[in-house]
Amino acid sequence: MASSGSNQDTCMQIDSGESLQIKGRTMKLEEWQLTVQVDNLVDFVSLTRNNCDLTSFLRYQDLSGYFHMLDGPTYENLVKQFWVRTEIYDKYAAKAEEDHLVLLDPNLKREIKG
């Protein structure tokens, strides 16, 4: 799948009046370079065969439906489009940057209500 080559964010209006923003690409990898694993996300047959039967625990916690959902269709193109636009948030780096900016301008300090 060819990319548009544009790193511009796109904004769309939806019926409820909200605005959705489609982010630009955040990584240099192309979608065709990514591999999505879709087979045997959780192989319960192999686990049971190796004396690790988890089905009773899943039934007790009412998680069977969740694992059946994982066995459903995987939209590989959608997953790849998501990953090339993903950003990682490092809360420690963000806190260090915030502290540095507050040192430069104490007016930026905000009160935390507890």
The mean pLDDT value for 71-75 works out to: 79
Q: Is the separation of the CB atoms in 90 and 98 below 8 Å? A: no
Q: Does residue 33 surpass a pLDDT of 50?
A: yes
Nearest by Cα to 32 from 2, 73, 62: 2
pLDDT classification of 1: cutoffs 50, 70, 90 = very low
Task: Name which residue leads in pLDDT, 72 or 112.
Answer: 72
Q: Which pLDDT score, from 0 to 100, does residue 64 have?
A: 83
pLDDT at 89 over 90: no
Q: Please state, in angstroms and as integers, the Cα–Cα distance from residue 90 to each residue in 94, 95, 96, 104, following that order.
A: 6, 9, 10, 21
The per-residue pLDDT for 96 is: 93
Confidence of residue 114 (pLDDT cuts 50, 70, 90): very low
What pTM was estimated for this model as a whole?
0.45
